[in-house]
Structure 1
Amino acid sequence: MIRHEWHSEISPPVTVEVGEMLRLAAGEDAEPGFPVMSLSDHTQKRTQHLLVWLLSDPRLQAGDDGPSLAAYMRLEWLTGADAGIAEATYVVHPAARSRGITTLLAEQIGPDLGLSNGDPQNPIHTLRIWALGNHPAAFRMALRFSNHGIAIADKRWQLLAPLRGTLPQLPDTVKVGDPTAGDHPMNALWRKAFRSPPLISALPLIVGDHDNPDAVLWIDGQAAEPTEYGPAARLIGPIASNGEACDEDLVVHDLLSAGMRVLLDDGHRVAALAVDPFNHPLVHHARCLGFVHDRTDVQYVVPVGRTQPGVMLDTGKPNEISF
């Protein structure tokens, strides 16, 4: 049996248990390169936490340790242009995987996570969640989502490029920025594009005036993402001055080639890059520079209020379902 609970904040004793589960999951997921969650992550001002507990089996002998944390979901209420949308991030305890926890949760709470019964003052009309193409359950979950009428709203190609000595030197149009430059416009671009504080470890490359950049590409040399070619550093962007993905041919080419050159000079052998398949200039220049397709990640959307209603958010009242 499982029990789920919604919380606006996690109590200190449970925080320790959630933190330990996320630590174990991060260790388990490091090799396949799955995203890592942490309670210290930057989140939206309004965030809900879903705790899923695996209950003791009454058929077992006495001495069972009682309920154990089986899964955790973070649900963030977006703002601004994305108001009315909630974004979910979800992880299952390594010891509870392949035991049907997620299937039981979906049956218990409904595909829209009970958001149709949420706060009427802050209604949510859409739930979004990303699914990685290299996850072992990707195909199975895609079939289940399709059966529930859950559609794909967005997709990202994850590309890889082995780095070789034939790369050109940094173009004159590209300048290296300071990642610790506080309220610099390039950091404002990051916040606008990714809704999070800039990565201090990410080195920015700038096209245009240093204090008023036309576009920025960031280099995360600490990513060390596992790939068939070896650990990959990640290129992030490029982002134009309006906070959207840059699609100017010359700017895209110069920033990508400069980012690859910096990584090569720093001793990296593989570059990773996420691209929107419909950003034709970015796709074209990435291919010309040697990037190849590694996987496709997709974003699913659940229309809230059109699925089987679940429980009201933030009640803290447990609900149970048997295996």
Structure 2
Amino acid sequence: MIEFEWRTELSDAELAELTDVLTRAAHFDAAPEYNTISVEEIIRSMPPSYPRAHHLLIWMLPYATALGGPEHPKRIAGVLRLVTAPDGTAHACLVIDPQLRSLGISTLLFERIGLDCSGPEGWAGTGAHTIIAWARGNHPAAGRLTRRFLIPRTRRVWKLIRPTSPLDPAAVPPVLEPTAAGELRDVPWLSDVDAETLYVLRDGGEPTGAAALDFTPFEHLEFGKSASLTAFRVAPDATVRTRRALLDGAAAVAKACQFTGLVAYVESNDSEWVTSCRLTGFQHDRTDVCFQVGGQQ
């Protein structure tokens, strides 16, 4: 039914066919925001330019769709992209042609190639001893596949979205102060935030919360032109009130920049942020699920 091969280069014909598959898949998966792979990133990361990237090309062998009917020719069914870090941790992404889904291609692939990461060369000779894969939008096929092979879910992240207008039209949102990240390097609870500018909530001159925003616009069907919260942190002793003030202030910053929607990503088991987001008008838009094979979980 299928064959597969790790590839370090593609012929012109293969590149054209793979481009068609990935373009159609990206269009098909745009609304639910499922995983995508761009052919450009595959080309850029083909060895020797990026030796830690591995690409498994999958073909559907000739098949008939009707008894006694003509066979369809062999065709590219999808691609698995694996990027391995020096410590043996790899991030994987798999995209299958929309026309060939629900045929068991992914299941058959892993039945044949296996999921053993414990050998000296790692999984399938790639050097990967831990494989991490995110299913954006909690793709149902990912759920079926991971149940079949008993692959555990290690994280769930909720994509939440709200309007930038305040819930109470008469309310005056908190003012966040734009501050260069370098000025906050001595604040320990901001040490992991990677941003040039932070919007800071202060109390008596002292920072109590900070948010980083990405103003790259994207269009949301319900909320229109939207920005994203890429990071939001509060002091260790912060209350729900402080968290709400930070979120409302961030929405006001986005509104001042002519955005009508604001997105935040929250760990589903982080009850404090989940509660604060709900109290400030955020609603669930998507669930992303992380699966892991091998390594410490």
Alignment TM-score, normalising by the size of structure 2: 0.71
Q: Report the Cα offset of residue 207 of structure 1.
A: 3.0
3-state SS of paired residue (2:34): coil
3-state SS of paired residue (1:33): coil
Q: Which amino acid aligns with 1:224?
A: E
Match of 2:151 in 1: 150
Q: Which amino acid aligns with 2:121?
A: D
Q: Quick one: higher RCO (CA 8 Å, sep 6+), 1 or 2?
A: 1
Match of 2:128 in 1: 124
Q: Is the 8 A contact 1:49 1:75 kept in 2?
A: yes
3-state SS of paired residue (1:258): helix
Moved more, 34-43 or 280-289: 34-43
Equivalent residue in structure 2 for 1:88, among 87, 92, 97 = 92
3-state SS of paired residue (1:98): coil
Q: Which amino acid aligns with 1:84?
A: G
Q: Find the aligned partners of 2:235 and 2:91 in 1 and give their Cα distance.
A: 24
Q: Find the aligned partners of 1:126 and 1:246 in 2 and give their Cα distance.
A: 33
**1:55 is aligned to 2:61:** yes
Q: Report the Cα offset of residue 273 of structure 1.
A: 1.6
Match of 2:6 in 1: 6
Equivalent runs, 1:264-303 vs 2, <5 Å:
264-303=255-294
Q: Find the aligned partners of 2:268 and 2:236 in 1 and give their Cα distance.
A: 12
Equivalent runs, 1:135-214 vs 2, <5 Å:
135=139, 137=140, 141-165=142-166, 166=168, 171-175=174-178, 205-207=198-200
Q: Find the aligned partners of 2:35 and 2:215 in 1 and give their Cα distance.
A: 15
Equivalent residue in structure 2 for 1:218, among 202, 207, 213 = 213
3-state SS of paired residue (1:37): coil
Q: Find the aligned partners of 1:258 and 1:297 in 2 and give their Cα distance.
A: 26
Match of 2:247 in 1: 256
Q: Report the Cα offset of residue 116 of structure 1.
A: 5.0
Q: Find the aligned partners of 1:30 and 1:238 in 2 and give their Cα distance.
A: 24
Q: Find the aligned partners of 1:173 and 1:230 in 2 and give their Cα distance.
A: 23
Q: Is the 8 A contact 1:170 1:261 kept in 2?
A: yes
Q: 1:17 to 1:27 in 2, by over 3 A?
A: same
Q: 1:155 to 1:30 in 2, by over 3 A?
A: same
Equivalent residue in structure 2 for 1:46, among 38, 47, 52 = 52
Q: Is the 8 A contact 1:219 1:233 kept in 2?
A: no
Q: Is the 8 A contact 1:249 1:281 kept in 2?
A: no
Q: Find the aligned partners of 1:223 and 1:177 in 2 and give their Cα distance.
A: 25
3-state SS of paired residue (1:31): coil
Q: Is the 8 A contact 1:234 1:273 kept in 2?
A: no
Q: Which amino acid aligns with 2:56?
A: L
Q: Find the aligned partners of 1:31 and 1:268 in 2 and give their Cα distance.
A: 20
Q: Is the 8 A contact 1:25 1:94 kept in 2?
A: yes
Q: 1:144 to 1:25 in 2, by over 3 A?
A: closer
Q: Find the aligned partners of 2:223 and 2:28 in 1 and give their Cα distance.
A: 18
**1:67 is aligned to 2:66:** no
Q: Which amino acid aligns with 1:85?
A: T
Q: Is the 8 A contact 1:25 1:93 kept in 2?
A: yes
Cα distance per residue 1:220-256 (max 9 Å; x no partner) = 4423244xx344624233156xxxx987747754553
Match of 2:189 in 1: none
Q: Report the Cα offset of residue 71 of structure 1.
A: 0.8
Q: Find the aligned partners of 2:51 and 2:175 in 1 and give their Cα distance.
A: 41
Q: 1:294 to 1:173 in 2, by over 3 A?
A: closer
Q: Find the aligned partners of 1:247 and 1:50 in 2 and give their Cα distance.
A: 45
Q: Is the 8 A contact 2:159 2:287 kept in 1?
A: yes
Task: Structure 2 unaligned segments of length 5 or more: list them.
Answer: 186-191, 202-208
Q: Find the aligned partners of 1:117 and 1:100 in 2 and give their Cα distance.
A: 27
